[in-house]
Amino acid sequence: MPRLSQRAYDRRVMIAMAVYVVVFLSVWPLARGAGAPLVKIVCALTPVLPLLYVIGLMAQRILASDELEQRTHLIGLGVAAAVVSVFSIVVGFLAAANLMTLDWTSISLVWIYPILMLSYALARRKAARRYGVAECDEDESMPVYIRFLYAAAIFAFVAAFLYLRAGDVQAVGIMLGMAGALAAGAAFFAVRRWLRRRRLPTG
């Protein structure tokens, strides 16, 4: 099985997540107004397709890795599963106690996959450093600050969509807050990358 380069993997994941956001905002809302059950099911599950593509990319990347890299992936997936389990339990108990509305519970469930991916990436990166697995060269991977900027742009896009379509000020504030936090993270990693490159020997 051919192994994707880090840059190609990052590019495909980012494109898939952009497709996911567009489909989620444009197709998924049609499920509520659809009359035929089949149309309702198709509209409701269409956003799952880009996520399945990302899962396939991840599986391809793991299977093409050596045993040590597969171990770091396994640790990352184990930590991600634990984080998602705790998140789901907390949301479940809050919903069962009627402390969360149905809409907020649904929103929380939609966030399970992003939380899974983020916790997996962080845990896998830490495990790789612990076992001395060489990280991909920056020229072969997409810089972290660009990933953060991309995520910030997605949240800003979602906030604009919610404001123009629903006028939900609370949801817009949450989305803008996350976009701002991601933009701040992008600035931090951009400055850190610039300082590292400045300290590198030129000769």
pLDDT at 20 over 60: yes
pLDDT at 3: 66
pLDDT confidence band for 79 (50 / 70 / 90): very high
> Do 74 and 126 belong to one domain?
yes
pLDDT at 136 over 80: no
d(CA 12, CA 40): 28
- First-residue to last-residue Cα distance in the chain: 39
3-state secondary structure of 143: coil
Mean pLDDT value across residues 133-139: 52
> Do 45 and 57 belong to one domain?
yes
pLDDT at 86: 92
> Do 137 and 148 belong to one domain?
no
3-state per-residue secondary structure call for 23-38? HHHHCCCHHHHCCCHH
> Do 125 and 165 belong to one domain?
no
> Do 51 and 79 belong to one domain?
no
Of 125, 141, 157, the domain-final residue: 141
Please tell me the pTM assigned to this model: 0.68
> Do 118 and 148 belong to one domain?
no
> Among 4-18, 23-37, 93-107, 165-179, which is the least confidently predicted range?
165-179
The number of domains in the chain is: 3
d(CA 167, CA 2): 47
> Do 147 and 137 belong to one domain?
no
Of 40, 64, 88, the domain-final residue: 64
Q: Are 162 and 172 in contact (CB under 8 A)?
A: yes
Tell me which of 112 and 203 has the higher pLDDT: 112
Supply the DSSP symbol for 3: P
> Do 3 and 34 belong to one domain?
yes
Range of the domain at 133: 66-141
